[in-house]
Amino acid sequence: MSAIPAGIPAPGGKSAHAFRTISEVACELDVPQHVLRFWETRFAQVKPVKRAGGRRYYRPEDVDLLRGIRSLLYADGFTIKGVQKVLRERGLRHVAEIGRGEAVYAREAAKPLPENAPQVWAEEATHARAIMADLARAHLQDEDAASADARPQLDEEQRTKLEILLAELLQLKGRLRTARAALI
């Protein structure tokens, strides 16, 4: 399935379920067409439908997979072999989900930033630092209380704080990407 919700036209005015030509996919992913053809030789999972004359048509699932491959290669710094390993170990669906996430991120990045964005980010960073300091203090207290042999375990409150911190850090990472993309 495509990341674009049903009923909302895809870029270029086509239905979200319509097949795409190689030029449309190259434009959407911001990669040259020859890169898409090269990826077909390196990733057996990329199988566009080929019509008479060898013209390629990509299904929405193919575009999600390609977007995921692009993200792993360009954003996350994987090598071709690294992406092949991810596909082998985690599967096609996992990489396509990365691609769908990138589509959502791209739509969010296209939205204008609010004027108070830097102030909000600074407040969120301060909040994250406070949570980290609380966790460090709690960990040190646990370490002091624990015996030399026992490893301190996180209690439910500490685990919750860590999960909140992780979520906030991931949000900050997305916002930083958005800000960086807006500056380019």
Q: Where are the domains of the chain?
A: 11-110, 117-183
Low-confidence winner among 64-68, 96-100, 142-146, 160-164 (lowest mean pLDDT): 142-146
Residue 46's pLDDT is what?
A: 93
- Per-residue confidence (pLDDT) for residue 129, from 0 to 100: 78
Mean pLDDT in residue range 118-140: 75
| Per-residue burial over 69-89, b = 16 or more CB atoms within 10 Å of its CB, e = otherwise | bbbbbeeeebeeeebbebbee
pLDDT of residue 10: 52
Q: Across the chain, what does the average pLDDT equal?
A: 77
Architecture of domain 11-110: Orthogonal Bundle (1.10)
- The strand ranges marked E within 29-127 are 49-50, 56-58
Residue, of 158 and 44, whose pLDDT is higher:
44
- Per the CB < 8 A criterion, the answer to whether 17 and 2 are in contact is yes
**What span, in angstroms and rounded, lies between the C-alpha atoms of 166 and 159?**
10
Largest CA distance in the chain: 73
Q: Average pLDDT of 121-150?
A: 69
pLDDT, tens digit, 9 for 90 and up, residues 17-35: 889 999 999 998 999 999 9
Is residue 159 predicted with pLDDT exceeding 70? yes
**Residue 8 pLDDT greater than 60, yes or no:** no
pLDDT of the residue at 152? 55
- Give the pLDDT score at 158: 75
Cβ(72)–Cβ(98) below 8 Å: yes
How far apart are the C-alpha atoms of 17 and 156, rounded to whole Å? Answer: 44
Segment of 15-19, 66-70, 121-125 carrying the highest mean pLDDT: 66-70
* Predicted pLDDT of residue 31: 93
> Confidence band (pLDDT; 50, 70, 90) for 3?
very low
Q: How many other CB atoms are there within 10 angstroms of residue 142's CB atom?
A: 16
Q: Please indicate whether residue 87 or residue 157 has the higher confidence score (pLDDT).
A: 87
